[in-house]
Amino acid sequence: MEITLIRHGRSLHTEQAPITCEELPKWVEKYDEVSIFEEKEYPSEAIKKAKEANVLLTSDLKRAIDSASFLSNERPVESYSLLREVDLPIPSGNLFGVKLSPKTWLTLFRLLWFCGYSNKSESFSHAKKRAKEAAHFLINEASKHESVTVVGHGFFNLLVAKQLKKEGWISQNKQSSKHWSCTTYKKRA
């Protein structure tokens, strides 16, 4: 049995002009709505795993679904909100009108999230519970279908990978959050 985790491709939403905290939710909304860059070449291992898996799954976000389509020549996929990326705890308000690049805001809020700040978004502890649920779902799918490939998201894939390891699954390489990274886990004998 094997489970492969692939991170989606690069988003077409690349705007990095400084914005206020108040403008960040619209930036994130646009990031979630757009597709990904079509590459000249895709990593061969990711293509192989997407095409050969008995089941191809994605999160229900466009960038994951479109990435799976590019890797597998539009093979049918099953999409689940369970496999979505973890939302960021963006505070309401303007924070004194400070303008930072979206990347800087995202890093700042992810760090605050690790420290326990969730501001009505999914908490770190809840995200770990969801990752455990997702790992069990994927293990169940692998037990039924032998091979499962998931095109998901960098951070959530890391949480799922950690849970798979706790469940006795091993990989030859380390889980990465780079676009198109591909890591396969097999059940330890």
CATH code of residue 70: 3.40.50.1240
Q: What is the pLDDT of residues 63-82, one digit of tens each?
A: 999 999 999 987 889 999 99
Domain that holds residue 59: 2-187
Task: Provide the number of structural domains found in the chain.
Answer: 1
**Band of pLDDT at residue 129, cut at 50, 70 and 90:** very high
Cβ atoms 14, 101 nearer than 8 A: no
Within 8 A by CB and 6+ apart from 123, the residues are 113, 116
Cβ atoms 59, 134 nearer than 8 A: no
Q: What is the pLDDT of residue 162?
A: 97
Q: What is the pLDDT of residue 16?
A: 94
Q: What is the pLDDT of residue 73?
A: 86
Q: Which residue has the tokens 């108040």?
A: 22
pLDDT of residue 178 exceeding 90, the answer is yes
pLDDT of residue 189 exceeding 70, the answer is no
Q: What is the pLDDT of residue 93?
A: 79
Supply the DSSP symbol for 86: P
Q: What is the pLDDT of residue 95?
A: 80
Q: What is the pLDDT of residues 32-64, one digit of tens each?
A: 999 999 999 999 999 999 999 999 999 999 999
Torsion over CA: 34, 40, 43, 49 (sign) = positive
Within 8 A by CB and 6+ apart from 55, the residues are 78, 141, 145, 147, 148, 149
